[in-house]
Structure formats: structure tokens, C-alpha cells
Structure 1
Amino acid sequence: MSFKVAIIGRPNVGKSTLFNRLIGKRLALVDDTPGVTRDRREGAASLGGLKFTVIDTAGLEEAFDDSMEARMRTQTNRAVEEADVALLLIDARSGLTPLDTHFAKWLRGRGKPAILLANKCEGRAGADTLYEAYALGLGEPIAISAEHGEGMVELFDALQPFAQAREEEEQADGDMDILDPTDERSDDPTLQLAIVGRPNVGKSTLVNQLLGEDRMLTGPEAGITRDSISIAWSFQGRPIRLIDTAGLRRKAKVSEKLESLSVNDTLRAIRFAHCVVLLIDASAPLEKQDLAIAGMVVEEGRALVLAVNKWDIPEDRDAVLRAVRDRMETSLPQVKGLPVVPISALTGNGVPRLLPTVLRTYDVWNKRIPTGHLNRWLAEVTEQHPPPMVRGRRLRLRYMTQVKARPPTFVIFANVPEELPDSYVRYLTNGLRETFDLPGVPLRVKTRRGRNPYSKE
């Protein structure tokens, strides 16, 4: 098990930039706006051969009420509790502030090992702040530049004792494997599950309900989540990477740069997910934006499950459920039989049914059908309903095979594939879905020209 390192500091000192530097990719959103990061994010870091887990946190602020800042501080407190060592980051260019002094004192009082980092020390910048930083009582400050990678050798030297201590513990207790929350290898059996939807429909609340802890920042404010946060988890022994995402508004309403970055992060999460849970609000079900998001997920070929949240609000629940299913059948016929799960993320009602539904849909999304079964089925359906005539010539569908799963993709070889009408392709797709039990997942049916055995080629 690797050791854990929490990056903390006041807002806008470069914590997310350092996080991205240590994990080797731009995973956390970075912007000049203070307070971009709100939830804590974990990543697998590597520094000069050291392997450890790094935690990016929200900017520390002096708040203890019910405000968002106070809730962000609570998340940071938990990150520090989990960590083996904390990196307190200060901005060397802006100098030492009373807030830096306050939180250095707070960190010393917790008895947590800490390393003081003076960021933005490119060249000789911030030399005066380095001398002032000794007053924080955290030992000798390390001058770094998270953006340019300066000072990483000194940071390696400071972290090495914690790696050695953890290695000695592992040798005493026996090695343990950990699930890397940022590993995206294709052979990884982990199911990547993204929770998406419009702002303020309860995505983070649902994630907390699934995990059984207040892992994500929640509240009545819309748009709290900005980053797509990946969390390693398991359900009934099955490894799952749970991804909480920022809310997706209509493109015309997205004007700020920061929201645009959040939207791009959510779209990336959809592209890399295996299964997507689209969360909608039962009090305003299936608005135009919900259908746009669902269409986007289907276009990407992801497995989709529809969760209707806030199910305790509507009085006539049967009518709402019928309306949702009818609207999906009409607007997204390409995922006929899409599973719909009514839930209340706040109270937990219905949530135990969600993950089994996700796993069933995921299994359908991975399903493979033997070529022999497909060709027997193709012969039957073309006999019952032959392809149309084209310029007095019958279209012949000679052979069919499944070329890939995730989503199930089929290729039909024909004599004149470009002349096969879209309506007949839809007929074949619906027949595949019904015969081979493929409800609710996107199917791809492609046509190719079959090889002529009498050709001189």
C-alpha cells in the first residue's frame, strides 16, 4: 500500500497545478479564479521512483458555519486525517499572509507531519518569502515551481522517509494491492461508472449514498461540483471506479471559462466511462437537456441507465414513470428497453436497486453472440421480410458476424450494401435486440460489400 500525501493551502496558491505535476497529467481543473477545486481528488503520483497517492484539496478558509466554504474545509480536514504527510503550499510571489500563519498553526496542532512548500519560485522570485516562511514553524521551506517543475528533487528527498516507513510496514504486514483510481488500462476489470445530469439534480448526493459516507461536497447551491472526481470503490466484490461529474447545462448558457472547463471534463468522463447513470429530477422529468445528454451518451456508445431522483416529490408516481418511459421510447428508440430506476438519493429509497441494474446493463453491453446463431437468425428474418428490390435487382444479405462488443457491433455483408435502406437496417436492429435479449444498449449494425468469388482479383 503506497503512502498518502495531502496538498493543502489557502485558495489559488497552485495546489491543483502541483497535483497535476505529480500525477503526470492534467486531471484537475486549473484556472486563475480562486476556489476552483471544491472536492478532494485522489490520484496515483510518481516522483523519481517514489509511488504514492496524492490528494488535491479545496483552498483552506476560516469558516465554521453552514456555508459552502465550511463544507469545503470539512472535506480538507478528512483528507489531512487520511494522509501520512501534508504539503502546506504558500505563494512565494504574494508573500506570507495571516491565513498562511493561521493554517500552519492549525496543522501543527493536529500533530500531522508536514512539509512546507513555497510555490511560484521560478528563478529567484519569492526569495524574501522563503526567509519569512521559517516563522511558520514547519521547518525549512522548499522552493518549487509547480508549473515549471522546479524543486522536485528537493521534494523527493523530503518525501523519501515516508516511503521508507511505509515500505517497512508492508514488509512487516505483507504486501497489499490497492486499486489505482486513475489507471485507465484496457485490461483493467474495473467498471467505470459515471454519474451525469443537469446541475442540482443530486449527483453528488447519490455518490455519497452509494459510498455510505459524505465523500462529495453537497448543498442546495447549483453547480457545486466542478471537477469530475474519480473514486475507487467495490460493490459485492466487483471493483468500480465511480465518477461524479459537473452538471451539464445547455451549451448556449455556458459563457464562463471555468464552467466550460467543467463541461469538457464531464464530456471526457462520459467518453471514458463504461456505463453512465443519467440522473433526472422527478419534479421536472426529461427536459430537453436531459434528452440531449442521453443522446450524447448513446452516440458515444456507452451503456446507459436512467435514474429518476427525488422520487418522494411527485404525487402520481405511476403517471410520471409512464411519461418518462414513453418519452424515452419516442425520443431515443435506438436504446429501446432502457432501464429506468426511481430513487431518492437523499433518503436512500430505491438506491439498492440501482447498482444491480447497472451491472445487468453492463453485461448486456459486453455481450457476444456466436456467428452461427447470427447467420441462422439472418436467414430467418430475410425470409420473412426480404430486403427491397433496387433497380429491379434483389439485395442479398450473404453473411453476418459480430466484430466487437462494448457496444455490440455487427457487420452484414451484402452484394450492394450502399443501397440497403436505413429502414431495413432499423428492422434488423430491432430484431437483434428482441431475439438476443439486448435491451437498453446502443447497437451498431454496419454493412459491407461481400467478396465476389468469381472476381479475377
Structure 2
Amino acid sequence: MMAVSIAIVGRPNVGKSTLFNRLVGRKLAIVDDRPGVTRDRREGDAKLGSLHFKVIDTAGLEVADDASLAGRMRAQTEAAIAECDLILFMFDARAGVTPADEHFAEVARRSGKPVIAVANKTESRTGFQGAYEAYALGLGDPVPISAEHGEGMADLAEAIVAIAPATGYEREEEVAETDAVVSGEEGEEEAIDLGAGVIRPLRIAIIGRPNAGKSTLVNALIGQDRMLTGPEAGITRDTISVDWTWRDKRIKLFDTAGMRKKARIEDKLEKLSVSDGLRAVRFAEVVVLLLDSATPFEKQDLQIADLVEREGRAVVIGLNKWDLVEDRHKALASAREMFERLLPQLRGAPVVTLSGLSEQGLDRLMEAAFRAFTTWNRRVPTARLNRWLGGVLEHHPPPAVSGRRIKIRYMTQVKTRPPHFAIFGNQLDALPDSFQRYLVNGLRETFDMPGVPIRLSLRSPKNPFDRKK
């Protein structure tokens, strides 16, 4: 049974994102005192008492030209109104009902959807008195709440049940069975089967510098204008997740805000946006690093790629805006040479040319993402590992330290996601970094693990005659 879908709408800075976070029980949406923080619409699984439903956070409604950024934001909100079952029209009770509230209340009423007037910020006497101005909106009895302090949530639940079909809510036990949110530390989860018996979708985060075309790419993949796009750099602020199916395989796409150089980030809001994107990287399984084909592998691109490698995610390099490149053969050869030279820690990662605007190379991108995920989960049998290790040590033994040869006895794989190998022997703390890189490169080439981070642990037995400090 499909859950009821509820959209929170209203003019900017009335507390829509605060209520959204309160309903989903987590700080998913970025909240700030300034108006116009939210731009894209964000969906989440909400719980209010015994009710479970889908809630949609929207951008603030403003009167603006359709081609402007504010106008495109309003179009996103109108799309949320069109697809929802119930509208929560929120206004600031402390400011009272403004002409803008009256105008957009009429827009909500003309939609034909049930509407509940929600008077926010009523924790003070002034706010509580201002809530009664909502009768002028013609939306029935207002529900006074304080989203920040959690007041009035029981009254809001009663209003929702009274106006929306009671049969559209999932029971708590049903939600527990179908909930696909994964929590906990990365690396502790078992590999998932993305075939017919899939438990949850493959999580793919799309990251990169501002104006690389991330939101345009997401829209092209899912086949709809779900993300706010435009010529302006830095439009996306919140990390937005979208559920999608590609060739009968479930996927959760994460569109993130552009990441600039750390020294250039001074605004608090931009810091929150970047932090939200970094959290998406940590909980993703495959990361698509999207580059502008005109200026690939700039310093910031390299820093983002290094971050992804340190987080241990599977990586796919996407060269976007490929339709604007004139000499494509030369540009691709140059990009691959730069990638191998500047990012040796991700050697062999797939480089895919694409264009989100003209929808070119999308299937190649997804095929590369699933191959990277398979490699990320690869496990090598211990017997094969040690046969390979014996041959390596025979042809290239480790150097001697203080006249004593470093002894490497055996190797085993201790983890996947990413592949993690442990080497056992004596005096391994003196094993040079260059020899460790030699082993990692050999593992990558011999066991077909291109592009994924490889971890190496050195484990030596304790000497019983060493005195503890």
C-alpha cells in the first residue's frame, strides 16, 4: 500500500525545513536563519505519532519570472504540489498573514488538494495570537505548532488524520520491514545482491566542482526535471536522494552540492552544503566524480578524488559536457594520461565520456558503476594470494634492514568494500612505502581490481622478550 504523500509549502523562511527535519527524525535538510536556503524539493519517510507517510520539503514560494532562479524554484514546488496527496501550508505566526501568504494560499487552494494551514513559531504569546489570522486564508482551522521546539505535533497529527484518508498510512511494523535506510559504520555491511532478491538499492553519489553538471546528469538519468538546474554555479545546496530503477536494478542516486577549494569557503551555508555532500560520499558505495571536459583534473578535482580514495569508495570518472569537445580523440587521450599521472592511487578506474544535457553516454556510465561495485566487493582466496605472493618475493624480495632481511610469511584478505589485505611477517614496520606500493599495484593488476582503493595492513608477531614501556 502506498503511503500518503504530504508537501510542506509556504513562503521563504517560515520553518518548512525545520518541520521536515522534525517529521523525519533527522537533520536531513539544511536549516539557516536566512530565507531561501532550500532550493530543490527533498523527500523523506516521516513518522508522526502512529502515522507513517512521505513528506516533501519544498523551496519558498516567491513571485518571480519563470526563467529566473526563484521562478525555477517555484516550479519545483508546484511539481511537489501536483504529486502530493495533502498540502501543509505553513506561515510565520509571529509575522502574521502577509499578502504573499494570501497569494500562495490561493495557489494551494486551486490545486484541488486538501490543505491544512500550519501556524509555525507559536511558542510565544505573540505567535499564538498571530495564528488566528490564518482564518483569513480560507483554509479552515489553523494548527499552531513550533517546529523548532516540537510543540503542537499531536494536534498536527489529528488534523492530518481528519482531512486525509486514514487507509493511506503504513503501520509501524510494515515500515520496519520495508525501510531501506542503512545506518551504522561503513564496511560492516555484507555485500548485497543486486539481482531479483535485492534488499536495498545501490547507492551512487555524484560529486564534483560547482557547475560540473551534476544535477543535469541526475535529471538525464531518471528522465525528468527532478533537480533544479541552470547556468548559475552553486545552485544545489542540499544533498538530494532519488530512487531510480535502471535495467531492473534499484539505485539510489545522490545529487550533491559543488565542492570548491576549502580556502574559498567562507559562507556558513556553503560549509553546511559541502558537509552534506561529504556525508553522502561516506554512505555511498559508488562515487561518480564528474569533471568538466573543458578543464578536467584541476587541483580541486584531485583533492576530491583523494578524499573519495581515503573514504574507500568505488570510483568512476565522468567527463561531462563531452558534446562541446571538438577534437575528442585528442582530449580523451590527454585526460587519460593526466588521470594515470595525477591519480596513481586510483589507477585503472573507468573514465566515461558523457553529456547530461544531450543524454549521451548514460548507459556506459551505469555499466561502469556496476563493474566498479563488483570489483569493490571482490574477494581473493588465500591460496591464490599466497601463490602470487611467493612468486613476487622470489623475483623481488624486500630489502634488508640493518643487515637483516625482512621476512614476509603469508597474506590474506581480511575485508572487502574496499579490498583489504593483511601481510604477516617479521620486521614489517621497516617495510618501505615503495615496496608496499609495489605490492598494491601487483594486487590490482593480477586480481583485476582496477580503480578501487586497496588497503594493506602489516602485522608482525609480538616479541615476548621486548619490555613494555
State the TM-score, normalizing by the size of structure 2. 0.92
Work out the CA distance in 1 between the residues paired with 2:182 and 2:397.
48
Cα shift readout 1:360-405 (whole Å, capped 9, x = no counterpart): 0011011111111111111111111111111121111112111111
The secondary structure found in structure 2 opposite 1:209 is helix
Which position in structure 2 is the counterpart of 1:7? 8
| Matching residue's letter, 1:107 | A
Correspondence for 2:18: 17
Q: Distance in 1 between matches of 2:311 and 2:182?
A: 21
Identify the residue that residue 107 of structure 1 maps to in structure 2.
Answer: 108
In structure 1, the residue corresponding to 2:459 is in which secondary structure? strand
Structure 2 spans left out of the alignment, 5+ residues:
191-198
Q: Which residue of 1 aligns with 2:396?
A: 385
Asked if 2 retains the 8 angstrom alpha-carbon contact of 1:44 and 1:182, the reply is: no
Is 1:34 paired with 2:35? Answer: yes
Aligned to 1:371: 382
Q: Residues of 2 paired with 1:183 and 1:422: CA distance?
A: 36
Partner Cα distance (1:397, 1:49) in 2 = 59
Contact 2:290 2:317 (8 Å CA) reproduced: yes
**Structure 2 residue 85 is the aligned partner of structure 1 residue 84:** yes
CA contact (8 A) 2:81 2:111 kept: no
Alpha carbons 1:190, 1:241 under 8 Å: kept: yes
**Cross-structure match for 1:136:** 137
Q: Mean Cα displacement is larger for which, 157-166 or 291-300? A: 157-166
Q: Return the offset for 1:113.
A: 0.4
User: After TM superposition, where is structure 1 displaced by more than 6 Å over at least 4 residues in a row?
Assistant: 175-179, 451-455
Partner residue, 2:52? 51
Instruction: Determine the C-alpha separation between the residues in 1 that align with 2:268 and 2:169.
Output: 43
Any idea what the Cα deviations from partners look like across 1:186-238, whole Å, max 9, x if unmatched? Answer: 46532111111111111000000000000000000111100100111122222
Alpha-carbon contact 1:307-1:340 (below 8 Å) kept: yes
Which residue does the alignment assign to 2:252? 241
| Per-residue deviation, 1:179 | 6.9
C-alpha contact (below 8 Å) 1:306/1:338 kept by paired residues: yes
Which of residues 412, 418, 435 in structure 1 aligns to 2:423?
412
What's 1:428 paired with? 439
Q: Deviations over 1:329-353 (max 9, x none)?
A: 1121111111100011100111221
Structure 2 contact 208–259 (Cα < 8 Å) conserved: yes
Which residue type is aligned with residue 23 of structure 1? Answer: V
CA distance in 1, matches of 2:437, 2:370: 27
Bigger mean CA offset, 365-374 vs 9-18: 365-374
Q: Using the aligned pairs only, state the percent identity.
A: 57
Give the whole-Å Cα distance in 2 for the aligned partners of 1:344 and 1:46: 39
Q: Relative to structure 1, is the Cα distance of residues 82 and 181 closer, same or farther in structure 2, using a 3 angstrom cutoff? A: farther
For the 8 Å contact 2:51–2:169, the answer to whether it is kept is no
- Name the residue aligned to 1:274: 285
Q: Distance in 2 between matches of 1:87 and 1:184?
A: 29
- Note closer, same or farther for the CA distance 1:154–1:192 as it changes in structure 2 (3 Å cut): same
- Does the Cα contact within 8 Å between 2:323 and 2:358 map onto a contact in 1? no
Mapped to 2, the partners of 1:83 and 1:402 lie a distance apart of: 49
Aligned to 1:324: 335
Distance 2:286 2:34 in 1: 32
Structure 2: distance between partners of 1:211 and 1:419? 51
Residue equivalent to 1:164:
166
Cα distance in 1 for partners of 2:177, 2:84 equals 15
Asked whether 1:98 is paired with 2:99, we answer yes
Structure 1 pair 208–179 and aligned structure 2 pair: CA distance change class (3 A)? farther
Contact 1:15–1:56, Cα closer than 8 Å, also in 2: yes
Deviation of 1:75 (Å): 0.8
Structure 1: any 5+ residue segments left out of the alignment?
none
- Cα shift at 1:165: 2.8
Give 1:244's aligned amino acid: D
**Paired residues of 2:52 and 2:169 also in contact (CA < 8 A):** no
For residues 9 and 441 of structure 1, what CA distance do their matches in structure 2 show?
45
Structure 2 residue matching 1:87: 3-state secondary structure: strand
Question: Residues 388 and 394 of structure 1 are in contact (CA less than 8 Å); yes or no, is this contact kept in structure 2?
Answer: yes
Check the 8 A contact 1:309/1:342 in 2, yes or no: yes
Per-residue CA deviation, residues 78-119 of structure 1 (Å, 9 max, x unaligned), is: 111111101000000111100111111111111110111000
User: Contact (CA 8 Å) 1:308, 1:341: kept in 2 or not?
Assistant: yes
**Counterpart Cα distance in 2 of 1:191 and 1:4:** 24
Aligned length: 450
- The secondary structure found in structure 2 opposite 1:265 is helix
Match of 2:155 in 1: 154
1:10–1:398 distance in 2 versus 1, CA, 3 Å: same
The answer to whether the Cα contact below 8 Å between 1:44 and 1:181 also exists between their aligned partners in 2 is no
| Counterpart check, 1:67 vs 2:51 | no
- Tell me how far apart the structure 2 counterparts of residues 203 and 321 of structure 1 sit (CA, whole Å): 20
Q: Which amino acid aligns with 1:192?
A: R
Alignment partner, residue 196 of structure 2: none
